[in-house]
Amino acid sequence: MTGTVAMSEASIVDAELLAIEEINAAGGVLGRKIEAIVEDGASDWPTYAEKARKLLESDKVSVVFGGYTSASRKAILPIFERNKGLLYYPTFYEGLEQSPAIMYTGQEASQQSIAAVNWLMENKGKSVYLIGSDYLWPRTTNRIARAAIGKQGGTVVGEDYFPLGHIEFSSVINKIRAAKPDIILSTVVGGSNVAFHKQLQAAGINSGNQTLLALAISEEEIIGIGAENLVGFLTCMSYFQSLDNPANERFVAAFKERYGQNRVIGDTMATAYTGVYLWKQAVEKAGTFDVPAVIAASADMTFDAPEGEVRVHAENHHLWKRARIGEINAEGQVDVIYESDLIEPNPFPSL
């Protein structure tokens, strides 16, 4: 809710609370109302661990919806496994993980970074500059992306990382200009994106002369960065607010009615909202809040989500999902230019 990642994460809580309010208004789960306990990880991984222990050991919650960065997830994963808790994790991430305590409702690498690289190599060129924030998700994602680039006959012409909250990108922008990549693949996260994209524009780097695909920018981040700094750049997600289907129309209308017509919705907000409903559906199928029974009931379960139908994998706790590539427009929305078929989750792709 606070700190450098709040730009992306605070709105996820809004989406989860909306789902909880809707479920409670419809009678709750197994005849019981959901009581939401909201804790702030403050963009600080030890704080995440402290809050996870509180929720599981003191509050004894039935389920937790939360985490955004992979660093936060890694900080709380052993706590959930030790306490036999259940976490629904909403964020696209690097994969290379499977836990009995976690249901992953976001994309793993084969559904995002690998899908994006394959499309870029086919449509936008072969030389790539990798830039990211300096923690687990960007570094691992780029290791996977580098392998995918090589498989497609591409080359990586530069790779740089900066601490979360970093705001001075002039030196790396000069390196990018010198390298002249066909593509910039960005895994910059949180508030750093504001400085990075404003400084790119100031340096004369824009969609008219440079392909850039950002793996951590959705409509929610566009508002904070400014659409004028992003027009024509690309993003790859499973969900965009502009998707035309009845479930998404209901979700967008309900969210705006609850939080204001000027609010926008990004991928992790939609996957977080979906996670609450997947838990409800699994509990009702199992007939109990008992975690092992809920997990068992989740296998092969389908749900008509705002992103379209998703399906829980029978074994690896991830979702079958589509990869979508979109172009950011001047209104701060995203125009879809590519959509895959449903991709079976493979959290351990061969590199």
Instruction: Give the integer Cα–Cα distance in Å for 59 and 120.
Output: 47
Q: What pLDDT is recorded for position 137?
A: 94
- Give me the half-sphere count of Cα atoms (radius 13 Å) on the Cβ side of residue 259: 21
Rounded mean pLDDT, 242-270:
97
Among positive and negative, which fits the CA dihedral 61, 64, 67, 68? negative
Helix (H) or strand (E) holding 343: none
pLDDT in tens, 5-22: 888 899 999 999 999 999
Instruction: Give the integer Cα–Cα distance in Å for 75 and 87.
Output: 13
118 with 140: CB under 8 angstroms?
no
Contacts (Cβ under 8 Å, ≥6 apart) of 236: 112, 113, 115, 116, 119, 213, 215, 323, 324, 325, 326
Q: Give, as one character, the DSSP assignment of residue 84.
A: T
Rounded mean pLDDT, 217-236:
95
Q: Give, as one character, the DSSP assignment of residue 33.
A: P
pLDDT band at 350 (very low <50, low <70, confident <90, very high): confident
Instruction: Give the integer Cα–Cα distance in Å for 240 and 224.
Output: 17
pLDDT band at 56 (very low <50, low <70, confident <90, very high): very high
1 with 42: CB under 8 angstroms?
yes
Instruction: Give the integer Cα–Cα distance in Å for 68 and 92.
Output: 9
Q: Say what the pTM is.
A: 0.94
3-state secondary structure of 248: helix
pLDDT in tens, 107-116: 999 999 999 9
pLDDT in tens, 57-72: 999 999 999 999 999 9
